[in-house]
Amino acid sequence: MPRRSLTRFAWLSVAVSLVILGLKLAAYAITGSVGLLSDAVESVVNLAGGLMALAMLAIAARPADEDHAYGHHKAEYFSSGVEGGLILVAAVGIAVAAGRRLFVPRPLESIGEGLLISCVASALNLGTALVLLRAGRRHNSVTLEANARHLLTDVWTSGGVIVGVGLVALTKLYWLDPVVAFLVAANIVRTGLSIVRGSVSGLMDTALPEADLQSVRQILEGYKAAGVRFHALQSRQAGAHKFVSVHVLVPGNWTVHHGHAVAEKIERDIRQVLADSTVFTHLESLDDPASWEGLEWDEPSGNDRPHQAEG
């Protein structure tokens, strides 16, 4: 699926967030529950996150240009980072509202109707989150995954709020309402920090997962029988796109044409294993000592180095 078509999932998130926000505000207006208010505040963040995801997915789908030779893939990390930050801001707002209600508790009204509306909103949230999560994993989109995880968090917090408000109705212990809101805020903080960490990790050019690197190494090992060696294997991921670079060392008596043909085949093999990837190879001679200077990554064993005559 083209990256640009992923924006339809972001549009789904925005549309559902608008509906859910309306339902949760209605539930709060009916009951006066600060717990349900905290649930509605998180839906405001869901809406903002969906709009941000929509904008960043559109930018990430743009092709490489003169000013962005490696594409615009990292735009997705800005979306997930902003969404994580918005979650933390929502948590602060919820905690402030809960703190006021804790010192001035008040009875709740029409709890049954409010809880019914909240249950309908949670069901919509759950269905949308599962759709986004499946799409995010299938298309390796950190933006859709972050949005889905946020919605799933909203489902769990809504469940907690529903239970808490139900307990208030049964026990008449009105201080339970703000306590539930505090618990919601704590859970939101945990999710927000997790999303922000993932965004920072991507912006810092973290290497590909070990499973991907192991697949690359297996391909490279297959060429050793032909006398080819490798070092300086590096990788990073930008949104859904993966980048791999490696130095390819070939016998000194090979022609440039033959060495280049082998390097091209290696690149094709890696791209077949790593979907949506760009592979760079740097051709060097096994017989040139300079090829082995300054090794920092995946340095071959001593047996792989050329033997130099002692003078």
Domain boundary among 177, 203, 229: 203
pLDDT at position 236:
84
pTM (two decimals): 0.53
* Residue spans of the chain under pLDDT 70: 1-5, 61, 69-70, 73-74, 76, 79-80, 83, 142, 202, 239-240, 292-311
Q: How far apart are CA 14 and CA 278, in angstroms?
A: 32
pLDDT at position 310:
36
Q: How far apart are CA 282 and CA 284, in angstroms?
A: 7
What is the count of structural domains for the chain? Answer: 2
C-alpha distances out from residue 185 to 43, 99, 124, 182, 256, Å:
13, 11, 21, 5, 62
Q: How far apart are CA 257 and CA 95, in angstroms?
A: 67
Whether 109 and 233 share a structural domain:
no
Whether 27 and 156 share a structural domain:
yes
pLDDT at position 76:
67
Print the domain residue range for 45: 3-203
What is the CATH number for 146? Answer: 1.20.1510.10
Establish if 25 belongs to a structural domain. Answer: yes
Kindly tell me the number of DSSP H helices and DSSP E strands found in the chain: 8, 3
Q: Would you give the end-to-end CA distance of the chain in angstroms?
A: 60
Q: Is 149 within 8 Å of 206 (Cβ atoms)?
A: no
Domain boundary among 154, 177, 203: 203
pLDDT at position 295:
53
Burial (CB count within 10 angstroms: exposed 0-12, middle 13-18, buried 19+), residue 112:
exposed
pLDDT at position 65:
73
pLDDT at position 182:
83
